């Protein structure tokens, strides 16, 4: 009779997940340090430099918060979609759509800031929602895989941004490439270059956590994600919930685009989404379906992005960051699975082994 040393549990305890994730991140950092050492950089010096210029300086902290702002929202966008069991891989495209809509309002209308900012916010949210409409309806009514439809729209959004910033909306004033002119309206700054979008994003994430855990709607979403058949049997209109959650998700990503365009970049630019949509997926994975966890997860991701800037000054390509993020994501995926296993005391062959 063979005795098994490990048993797989249907759910993994949070403590073990956290421990294994720390191991996963440490292991990733070791691999990265190894690769850096092999390519002739000193990992210790680099780490010291990164810590000093991210957490140890005012500019570093401001950059950190600016990076966190869109990551909070795109991370929340992927997280809310995940509660009903769907993947929104298109936050990048919805981000662009929100940024485009907000820019359209800013370029087309003129008025006092107090009127313009709410209008741009609404436009941003609606832009993001519009961008996820087709995948939403296809998913809800025809069961079409949302991963691929949301993702394909990213490329279309990026091409549309390119078209607008080189065509009808191109900068005719300073002649900047692939960019609109500087927008006349911007979100006021609150601390250094950090704008008010940052606290608003935090509040939105906290508010979402409350809605998902304290309202009937949030409860129905969670049931719909955990067991769609049971939800349908219990009389929950799963289709409508899918539609509302996906639209909310798109709206959040669109809002991220609006904040970025009105608070940080101040113009619509090609490539301005800076992978925030894709990194939102990583944030959501780190947050494990809890909106409150999105805050520390976004902080970690922002820290990684911030160190990317430092690495660029050390003649390391910025794209290394994407590879590093991928490595960490890979390790965490494996760690999360391993957390399901519990060591089982092996009983001697005598008596009944269960």
Partner 1 sequence: MIMLLTGMLATAVLAGGVLALAALGEVLAERVGVTNLGVEGLMALGAVTAVMTVSSVHSPWVGLLVAIMVGAVGGMVFAFGAVVMRANQVLCGLATTFMGLGLSTALGHSYAGQPVETTFGHVSIPLLSSLPIIGPALFGQNILIIPIYLLLPLAVHFIMFRTRHGLNMRAVGENPAAADAAGIPVMAMRFWYVTLGGAMAGMAGGYLTLTYVPVWSEGMVAGRGWIALALVIFAGYRPIIVTLSALLFGLVTALSFVGQAHNWPIDPAFLNMLPYIGTMAFIIVPVVVWHRMRRVMAAPAALAQPYYRDVR
Binding site for partner 1 (CB under 8 A): 4, 7-8, 10, 87, 89, 134, 138, 141-145, 147-149, 151-156, 159-160, 162-163, 166-167, 278, 281, 285, 316-317, 319-327, 329-330, 332-334, 336-338
Give the DSSP per-residue string, 101-121.
HHHHHHHH----HHHHHHHHH
Name the minimum Å distance from CB 208 to partner 1.
22
Task: Considering the complex, state which of residue 236 and residue 324 has its C-beta at the smaller distance from partner 1.
Answer: 324
Tokens of 5: 């040393």
Q: Would you say 113 or 344 has its CB closer to partner 1?
A: 344
Give, for 218, the enclosing helix (H) or strand (E).
Answer: helix 216-226
- Which residues are CB-contacts of 231 (< 8 A; sequence separation ≥ 6)? 220, 223, 224, 238, 241
CB of 306 to partner 1, least distance (A): 17
Structure tokens given for 273: 């989404």
Residue whose CB is less far from partner 1, 24 or 187: 24
Q: Specify burial of residue 33 (Cβ count, 10 A radius: 0-12, 13-18, 19+).
A: middle
168 three-state secondary structure = coil
CB nearer to partner 1: give 60 or 335.
335
Q: Half-sphere exposure of residue 271, counting CA atoms within 13 Å on the CB side?
A: 2
Comparing CB distances to partner 1, the nearer of 216 and 315 is 315
Report, in Å, the least distance between residue 199 CB and partner 1. 30
- C-alpha–C-alpha distance, residues 254 and 132, integer Å: 10
- Nearest approach in angstroms of CB 66 to partner 1 is 22
CB of 301 to partner 1, least distance (A): 12
Strand segments, DSSP code E, in the chain are: 6-8, 189-191, 194-195, 341-343
Q: Which is nearer to partner 1, 45 or 323 (CB)?
A: 323
Q: Tokens for 270?
A: 């090609």
Tell me the closest approach of the beta carbon of residue 86 to partner 1, in angstroms.
Answer: 11
Judged by DSSP in three states, 214 sits in helix
For 117, other C-beta atoms within 10 Å of its C-beta total 21
- 93 vs 218 by CB, closer to partner 1: 93
The least CB distance from residue 108 to partner 1, in Å, is: 20
């Amino acid at each position: 009779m063979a005795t098994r040393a490990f048993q797989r549990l249907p759910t993994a305890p949070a403590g073990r997940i956290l421990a294994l994730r720390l191991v996963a991140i440490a292991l990733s950092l070791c691999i990265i340090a190894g690769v850096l050492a092999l390519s002739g950089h000193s990992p210790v010096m680099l780490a010291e430099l990164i810590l000093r210029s991210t957490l140890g300086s005012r500019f570093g902290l401001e950059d950190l918060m600016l990076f966190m702002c869109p990551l909070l929202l795109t991370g929340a966008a992927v997280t809310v979609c995940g509660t009903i069991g769907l993947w929104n891989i298109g936050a990048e495209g919805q981000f662009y759509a929100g940024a485009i809509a907000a820019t359209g309002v800013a370029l087309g209308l003129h008025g006092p800031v107090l009127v313009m900012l709410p209008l741009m916010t609404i436009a941003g949210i609606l832009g993001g929602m519009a961008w996820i409409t087709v995948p939403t309806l296809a998913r809800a009514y025809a069961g079409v895989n949302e991963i691929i439809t949301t993702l394909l729209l990213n490329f279309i959004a990026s091409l549309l941004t390119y078209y607008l910033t080189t065509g009808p909306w191109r900068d005719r004033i300073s002649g900047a490439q692939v960019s609109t002119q500087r927008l006349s309206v911007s979100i006021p700054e609150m601390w250094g270059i950090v704008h008010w979008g940052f606290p608003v994003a935090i509040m939105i994430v906290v508010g979402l956590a409350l809605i998902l855990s304290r309202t009937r709607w949030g409860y129905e979403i969670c049931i719909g994600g955990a067991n769609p058949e049971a939800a349908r049997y219990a009389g929950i209109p799963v289709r409508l919930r899918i539609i509302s959650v996906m639209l909310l998700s798109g709206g959040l990503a669109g809002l991220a685009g609006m904040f970025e365009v009105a608070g940080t970049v101040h113009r619509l630019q090609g490539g301005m989404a800076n992978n925030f949509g894709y990194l939102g997926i990583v944030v959501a994975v780190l947050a494990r379906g809890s909106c409150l966890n999105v805050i520390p997860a976004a902080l970690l991701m922002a820290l990684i992005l911030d160190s990317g800037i430092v690495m660029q000054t050390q003649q390391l390509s910025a794209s290394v960051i994407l590879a590093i993020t991928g490595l960490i994501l890979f390790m965490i995926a494996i760690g999360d699975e391993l957390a399901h296993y519990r060591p089982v005391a092996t009983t001697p062959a005598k008596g009944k082994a269960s």
